[in-house]
């Protein structure tokens, strides 16, 4: 775009950008749930160009790739509505994949060599977080039973997929279960469990069940968690010890349980895990020489046999060296990679990399060399499945979310900022990533400052990362400044920071987002008269609260955002049905507080234009939430635009809808702030705008 000629002068927001909505849609493939089985790799790709379809992809040792998900199917489970753990590699030779068909939530087993898939689960039940039990030829998974009239029942189940035997319930009685993980010899199963009103990051227990016979659970051990502590991320080491994370110190640090005792591996003011919004994540794995053993089943139970006598499948090569962990952790809002010994009090040895985002971390040993595999994000590249040789540092990109052919200097680099924020006279510090306007072909008029978009992430207990998000660059390349706020309640900064939001949702998050805008305006970086805020889901609620209860912002965009807390408490799905008790207070006992913090009841406080986007099949935040807000804005004769999408749920997956949402929001800001966006973006109907 910039051929060396002087930059053109154009109003901020009106810059012509090669990063079109179509380019973003084409590069918006989502990568998730990487799994490693020997030299075979598997992951899921979410493809907007195929209607948001999610597909399991297999990469063979020779580098060839193929889609495992049958044509026309969409691999996605609806357990907890957010899903995760949507597939598992199966078969005694690990030559099949069991996966969930989104349409009917039944699981199918697909041969990797080709051939017809077969149905392996019953209708009416949802399964997730499946792990293949090679000892028994079964799937161990979380089951969500929707036959109950009151609310779904959750349990951990062992499902026979080979011999037609009955399913075995391994754990039930609590409201939620997750992370069923079998020990290497198949004799024990670790799992997580929690109950209303807690979310798993509030309080969660780790248990281990011992099998008395081939399939019957027996003695149970409580390992960690409970009493205000969140245990998470259990994973069995090859020697049969159990590793996990819990936040008893205020951060999710790693522990190792062996022979009846738990010991901390490393005490750091850093999180080695994240909130369990979805199933199937992995933030660490095992390196070095661990004693391994296989198990054989006899009529009397389990019999251990040396690994070199096992015929249960390929035995992985092992590297030399002491046993250690390959770990990832959050530090100042960015992910880091390193190794950690298993002796208590070991220190992490960092591995310097350009990646600021690390998901689904796995270790792989090939020809005696240790490698790390993960889905990596960085500020200047799209997400990719990467493999790193830990000895040489060589980085291989095995798959990418897409390719970009953009002019050099177009991407805006994130700048980590800390800024003061105050609520009820209490001052503290909050965190964000600031992105200045950036386009080598343009500059703003002399004396003009750019409009600012404050981004409020969802969750609210999630976080913004310093990785490339094309949706952010869409704005900065057109002359907007963007600040992506990790308000109080966000993950990655320890439990105390996360619990700033406890009982104060709609206040702390709003105060922090407002403070970020004021901080940048006072610093002379953005136009104080053109401050906007946008967000999706919980971020949409923060957006609507900021616009309703404060006068800082001059426009806003809510994507499937909450406007009525009481309606959310009454109608949302089981996983989040009591979430608001921690964020707001018990309902209906605190109904006045719910009403006081619901924008829908205070529309008289709105005085600036708002655009709302909504999926019409959203089970988390139903369309009525947006529609009531739109009606209130109409009655006040405030400029409002409402864009609803057929067939979309909580978040937009279809290419055409992602495009409409981006261009429609740009068009909206252009009309509101009086500039003409370049490229003729798709127009949306804005009511009450003269």
Residue 29 has pLDDT above 90, yes or no: no
| Cα–Cα dist 208/526, whole Å | 54
Query: What pLDDT was estimated at residue 293?
Result: 44
Query: What pLDDT was estimated at residue 214?
Result: 63
**181-217: pLDDT as tens digits:** 999 999 999 999 999 999 999 999 999 999 987 677 8
Query: What pLDDT was estimated at residue 291?
Result: 64
Q: Specify the pTM.
A: 0.90
SS3 602: helix
Question: Residue 276 pairs with which residues in a beta bridge?
Answer: none
Highest mean pLDDT: which range of 21-30, 42-51, 509-518? 509-518
Residue 616 has pLDDT above 60, yes or no: yes
Q: Please compute the mean of the pLDDT values over residues 536-563 and round it to a whole number.
A: 95
Containing H/E element for 125?
strand 125-133
> First CA to last CA across the chain, in angstroms?
36
Residue 476 has pLDDT above 80, yes or no: yes
Query: What pLDDT was estimated at residue 4?
Result: 63
Identify the structural domains of the chain with CATH numbers, from first to last: 29-400 (2.130.10.120), 406-673 (3.40.50.1820)
Query: What pLDDT was estimated at residue 247?
Result: 97
Q: Please compute the mean of the pLDDT values over residues 597-610 and round it to a whole number.
A: 91
- Mean pLDDT of the chain, nearest integer: 91
Helices (H), 14-164: 21-26
Angle between helices 508-522 and 538-549 (to 10 degrees): 70
188 or 621: whose pLDDT is higher?
188
| Cα–Cα dist 18/531, whole Å | 25
| Beta strand pairing call for 531-536 and 555-559 | parallel
- The answer to whether 164 touches 155, Cβ cutoff 8 Å, is no
Instruction: Compute CA 117 distance to the chain's CA centroid, rounded to the nearest angstrom.
Output: 29
**552-564: pLDDT as tens digits:** 999 999 999 999 9
Phi, then psi, of 210 in degrees rounded to 5: -100, 135
């Amino acid at each position: 775009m910039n051929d060396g000629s002087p930059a053109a002068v154009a109003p901020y927001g009106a810059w012509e950008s090669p990063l079109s909505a179509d380019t973003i849609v084409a590069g918006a493939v989502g990568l998730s749930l990487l799994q490693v089985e020997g030299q075979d790799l598997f992951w899921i790709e979410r493809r907007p160009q195929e209607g948001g379809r999610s597909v399991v992809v297999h990469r063979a040792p020779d580098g060839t790739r193929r889609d495992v998900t049958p044509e026309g199917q969409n691999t996605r489970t609806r357990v907890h509505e957010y899903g995760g753990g949507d597939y598992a590699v199966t078969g005694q030779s690990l030559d099949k994949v069991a996966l969930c068909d989104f349409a009917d939530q039944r699981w199918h087993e697909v041969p990797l060599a080709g051939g017809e898939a077969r149905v392996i689960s019953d209708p009416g039940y949802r399964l997730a977080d499946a792990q293949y039990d090679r000892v028994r030829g079964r799937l161990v998974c979380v089951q969500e039973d929707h036959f109950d009239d009151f609310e779904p029942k959750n349990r951990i189940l062992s499902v026979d997929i080979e011999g037609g035997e009955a399913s075995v319930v391994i754990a039930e009685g609590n409201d939620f279960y997750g992370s069923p993980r079998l020990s290497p010899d198949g004799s024990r199963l670790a799992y997580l469990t929690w109950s209303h009103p807690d979310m798993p990051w509030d309080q969660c227990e780790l248990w281990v069940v011992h099998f008395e016979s081939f399939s019957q659970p027996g003695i149970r051990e409580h390992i960690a968690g409970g009493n205000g502590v969140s245990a998470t991320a259990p994973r069995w080491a090859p020697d049969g010890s159990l590793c996990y994370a819990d936040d008893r110190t205020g951060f999710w640090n790693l522990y190792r349980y062996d022979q009846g005792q738990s010991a901390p591996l490393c005490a750091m003011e850093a999180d080695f895990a994240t909130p369990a919004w979805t199933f199937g994540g992995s933030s660490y794995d095992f390196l070095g020489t661990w004693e391994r053993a296989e198990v054989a089943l006899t009529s009397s139970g389990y019999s251990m046999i040396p690994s070199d006598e096992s015929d249960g499948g390929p035995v992985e090569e092992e590297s030399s060296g002491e046993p250690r962990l390959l770990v990832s952790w959050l530090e100042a809002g960015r992910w880091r990679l390193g190794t950690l010994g298993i002796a208590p009090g070991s220190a992490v040895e960092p591995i310097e990399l350009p990646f600021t985002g690390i998901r689904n971390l796995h270790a792989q040993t090939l020809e005696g060399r240790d490698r790390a595999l993960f889905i990596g994000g960085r500020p200047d590249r799209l997400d990719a499945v990467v493999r790193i040789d830990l000895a040489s540092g060589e980085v291989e990109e095995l798959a990418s979310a897409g390719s970009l052919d953009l002019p050099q200097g177009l991407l805006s680099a994130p700048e980590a900022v800390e800024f003061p924020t105050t609520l009820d006279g209490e001052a503290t510090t909050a965190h964000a990533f600031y992105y200045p306007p950036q386009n080598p072909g343009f500059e703003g008029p002399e004396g003009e400052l750019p409009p600012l978009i404050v981004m409020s992430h969802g969750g609210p207990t999630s976080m913004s990362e310093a990785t490339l998000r094309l949706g952010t660059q869409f704005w900065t390349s057109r002359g907007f400044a963007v600040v992506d706020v990790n308000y109080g309640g966000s993950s990655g900064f320890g439990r105390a920071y996360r619990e700033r939001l406890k009982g104060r949702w709609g206040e702390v998050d709003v105060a922090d987002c407002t403070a970020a805008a004021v901080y940048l305006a006072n610093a002379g970086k953005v136009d104080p008269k053109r401050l906007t805020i946008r967000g999706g889901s919980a971020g949409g609620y923060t957006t609507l609260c900021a616009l309703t209860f404060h006068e800082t912002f001059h426009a806003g965009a809510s994507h499937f955002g909450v406007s009525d807390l009481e309606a959310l408490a009454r109608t949302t799905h089981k996983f989040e049905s009591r979430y608001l008790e921690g964020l707001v207070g018990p309902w209906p006992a605190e109904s006045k507080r719910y009403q006081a913090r619901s924008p829908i009841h205070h529309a008289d406080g709105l005085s600036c234009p708002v655009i709302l986007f909504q999926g019409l099949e959203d089970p988390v935040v139903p369309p009525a939430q947006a529609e009531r807000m739109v009606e209130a804005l109409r009655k006040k004769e405030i400029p409002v635009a409402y864009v609803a999408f057929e067939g979309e749920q909580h978040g937009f997956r279809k290419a055409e809808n992602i495009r409409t949402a981006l261009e429609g929001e740009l068009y909206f800001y252009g009309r509101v702030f009086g500039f003409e966006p370049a490229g003729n973006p798709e127009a949306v109907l804005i009511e009450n705008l003269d």
